[in-house]
Amino acid sequence: MSFGTPYPSHPLILDDIRGAQKMLSGVARMTPMEGSRYLSRLVGSPVHFKCENLQRTGSFKLRGAYVRISGLRPEERAAGVVAASAGNHAQGVALASSLLGVRSTVFMPVGAPLPKVAATREYGADVRLHGHVVDETLAAAQEYAHDTGAVFIHPFDHRDIIAGQGTVGLEILEQCPEVRTIVVGVGGGGLAAGIAVAVKALRPDVKVIGVQAEAAAAYPPSLAAGHPLAIDCSPTMADGIQVGRPGDVPFGIVEELVDEVRTVSEDDLSSALLLCLERAKLVVEPAGASPVAALLSAPETFKGPVVAVLSGGNVDPLLMQRILRHGMAAAGRYLSLRLRLTDRPGALAMLLGVLSVADANVLDVGHVRTDPRLGLTEVEVELHLETKGPEHCEEVASALREAGYTVMP
C-alpha cells in the first residue's frame, strides 16, 4: 500500500496525518503509555493504555480541533468559529481557538455538567447554553453559523479533524512498535478512522477494533447496510460516544480499514471505569473506558500486545459517584438483601453482630413495619452492604442463613 496514494473510498492519506503531527508539535502532548498488569494477565499478553485522558483539555479532541481551525483561510478566521458539544469537543475547540487567536462560540446543552461549562469558558470560548438534548444544541449552533458567517467546527465529520485525531495512531506505533491490536472507542468515528489510516499505512498487520456502547451503537447496523444509518440512542453513561449516526467521512474509512466494531454493556463500562481508577489510578470517563470494557468482557479474543486508547477523562464528579456505585455493584462489591425479624429490642443488634463477624460493611438499613404481609410481631429489614466481591457476598448470605435468618430475594 503506497503511503502517498489515497485509499479508494476516502480522501485522507498518511502524509495528511504526518502533516497534522508537525502542526501539533508544541500544542498537543505526546501522552504517556501505561502498562496494565491486571489486564495483561487476563489477555495473556501485554496490555497498554494510551492515556489521552491526560491530554490538554482532558481528551484527544484538541488534536482535531487545532488542525481544523489552523486550516481556515484568513477571512474564515476573522468570522470566528462555532461548535456544539456537551464537553470534550467544546473544550478542544475553545483552547485551539484561543491558541490560534480565533474567536469561538460554543453551544452547550442546558444540563451540561458545570465543570465542563466552566472549563470551556476558561479556555476562552463564549459559551451559550441552549436546548436540553444535543440535537437542539447542534441546531442552534448551525443557525448561529448561518446567521453570522462563523465556521461550524464539526466534532468528527471532516478530514482535517480526522487527520488530527490520527496522530494518536502515529504515537502508538512509536511508543509500542510491537503492538498487534489497537482498541478504541467509537462515537461518530473520527478517532477510530484517523488511527486506522495512520496504522494501516505503516503496519497493515495491526488490528484496529472499535468499541461502542450497546445503547448507542450506530456502526454495526450501518456497516451491515453499507452506509450510515441513524438510530435512536438509549441513555448511556458513555455520553462521549453517544452518537446516533456515523459521520459520512469517517464511515468510509471505518468500513474499509477498521477490522471490527464491538459493543459493550453499561455494566461493562462501569466495571472498566472502576478498574481504571482502582488498578491504574487513572480518572477516565465512561466513553474513554470503553476499550477497557471490551477487554474485560472478552479478554481471550484479543491478540497482544494490545493498546487500549483511553480517549478522555472529563467526567462530572457527581456522575463519577453514581458510576462508581454502579461499577461496584456490577463487580459484586455491593449486596442488597431483605429478611424478617421479630420486632423486639436487640433483634437488629444481633443481626448487625452476624454481619460484623462476616466482615460486611453496612451502608444502609431500612425498616418496613406496615406491609400487610407481615405478622403483628414482624419487621422487614432491607440491608445494603459493601462486600469484597461475589464470593464474599455468598459467604455473607450463608452466615445469615446459618444464624437462622431467612434471606428473601
- Per-residue pLDDT of 115-173, as tens digits, reads 889 999 999 999 999 987 677 888 899 999 999 999 999 999 999 999 999 999 999 99
Residues whose CB is less than 8 angstroms from the CB of residue 307 and which lie 6 or more positions away in sequence, other chains included: 33, 47, 48, 49, 50, 172, 176, 179, 181, 182, 183
Residue 408 has pLDDT above 80, yes or no: no
pLDDT over 80 at 5, yes or no: no
Contact criterion met (CB below 8 Å) for 125 and 104? yes
Q: Residue range 218-246: average pLDDT?
A: 91
* Cβ(50)–Cβ(30) below 8 Å: no
**What are 335's strand-pairing partners?**
385
State residue 1's pLDDT score: 29
Q: Whole-angstrom Cα distance, residue 134 to residue 109?
A: 6
**Average pLDDT of the residues in 35-52:** 97
Distance CA 90, CA 96 (A): 10
Can you list the alpha helix ranges (DSSP code H) found in 302-346?
A: 317-330
Q: What residues contact 177, with CB distance under 8 A and at least 6 apart? A: none
The C-alpha torsion from 228 through 234 and 235 to 240, rounded to 10°, is: -10
Higher pLDDT, 383 or 378: 383
Query: Within 10 A of 204 (CB to CB), how many other CB atoms are there?
Result: 9
pLDDT of residue 401: 87
**Cis peptide bond prior to 299, omega within 30° of 0:** no
In this structure, how many other beta carbons lie within 10 angstroms of the beta carbon of residue 20?
Answer: 28
Sequence-ordered list of residues with C-beta below 8 angstroms from that of 277, at least 6 positions apart, any chain: 283, 284, 324
Q: 14 or 404, which is more confident? A: 14
Q: Regarding predicted confidence, which is higher, 114 or 141?
A: 141
- CA distance linking residue 83 with residue 89, whole number of Å: 8
pLDDT band at 6, cuts 50/70/90? very low
Task: Give the pLDDT score at 62.
Answer: 98
- Give the C-alpha separation, 217 to 127, whole Å: 29
Does position 40 have pLDDT exceeding 80, yes or no? yes
Length of the chain: 409
C-alpha cell at position 193: 478512522
- Bridge-based pairing of strands 361-368 and 407-408 is unpaired
Q: Give me the mean pLDDT over the 78-94 stretch.
A: 94
Mean of pLDDT values over 243-271: 94
CA–CA distance, 408 with 368 (Å, rounded to integer) = 14
Mean pLDDT for 394-398 is 86
Average pLDDT over residues 8-17: 79
| Residues labelled catalytic | 61, 311
The DSSP call for residue 386 is E
Q: What is the pLDDT of residue 371?
A: 66
Q: How far apart are CA 236 and CA 238, in angstroms?
A: 5
Positive or negative, the CA dihedral 319, 120, 188, 36 is negative
pLDDT at 227 (0 to 100): 96
Give the model's confidence band at 70: pLDDT under 50 very low, under 70 low, under 90 confident, else very high: very high
Q: Hey, what amino acid is at 256?
A: E
**Prediction pTM value:** 0.83
How far from the centroid of its chain's Cα atoms is residue 189's Cα? Answer: 13
Mean pLDDT lowest for which of 25-34, 87-96, 310-319?
A: 310-319
Rounded Cα gap, residues 254 and 366, in angstroms: 51
Q: How many CB atoms are closer than 10 A to CB 25?
A: 9
d(CA 85, CA 93): 10
The predicted model gives 332-348 an average pLDDT of 79
Scanning the structure block, which residue is given the C-alpha cell 502515529? 170
408 DSSP β-pair partners: 338
Residues 193 and 247: their CA atoms lie apart, in Å, by: 10
Average pLDDT in the chain: 90
Looking at residue 279, what DSSP letter applies? T
Sheet holding 81-84, edge to edge: 126-129, 104-108, 81-84, 151-152
